[in-house]
Amino acid sequence: MDPSSMTPAEASLMRAKLHIRGGKRRLRQGKISAGIVTLYDALTYAIDWYLSDAAHRDKLIVKEGERITNDSQAFAILHRSGVFGDDVDPREMDKVFEEALEGDMPDYDYSGFLKSVETAMTHLGVMPFDESALPPEDPKTF
């Protein structure tokens, strides 16, 4: 991926898609914490892409003192504003992400987290997408 050939919004969308693919691969490989962190990262890029559109930002319910540039606050703002439905729990996703950052989670059943990420990505308009349109994966990546 050459981000210099893309707008910042296009680069964020491409990174989100690449990290979705990579995060799912890591989960399948049993690298649970790495997969969760990668998927969470994908979600932050997807939110950046979504918020790059002024029409989306204009519809958000932002409380005084909140910053849409803060990941946790952006999740809450999107949930409150109806972008994420009740099928996405930003607090639970943050909790799982924090646990993944603290260490390996080999016995964690990630199916609920993955479903929440995919649902959020669908609400944001990132999923579904054609994975064959993405650049090939580098086999050297973790």
Q: What is the CATH number of the domain that holds 17?
A: 1.20.120
Report the C-alpha gap between 32 and 30 in whole angstroms: 5
> Does residue 75 belong to any structural domain of this protein?
yes
Which domain range does residue 93 map to?
Answer: 7-130
pLDDT for 20-32, tens place per residue?
999 999 999 999 9
CA-CA distances (angstroms) from residue 13 to 51, 94, 107? 11, 21, 31
Our count of domains for the chain comes to 1
> Does residue 139 belong to any structural domain of this protein?
no
Query: What predicted TM-score, i.e. pTM, was given to this entire model?
Result: 0.89
Report the C-alpha gap between 20 and 129 in whole angstroms: 10
> Does residue 138 belong to any structural domain of this protein?
no
Long-range contact pairs involving 7-12 (C-beta distance under 8 Å, separation at least 24): 8/48, 8/52, 9/48, 9/49, 9/52, 9/53, 12/45, 12/46, 12/48, 12/49, 12/52
> Does residue 55 belong to any structural domain of this protein?
yes
> Does residue 77 belong to any structural domain of this protein?
yes
Per-residue pLDDT at 135 exceeds 90: no
Among residues of the chain, what percentage have pLDDT more than 90? 64
pLDDT band at 90 (very low <50, low <70, confident <90, very high): confident
Token couple for 135: 């650049």
Cβ contacts of 48 within 8 Å, gap of 6 or more: 8, 9, 12
> Does residue 135 belong to any structural domain of this protein?
no
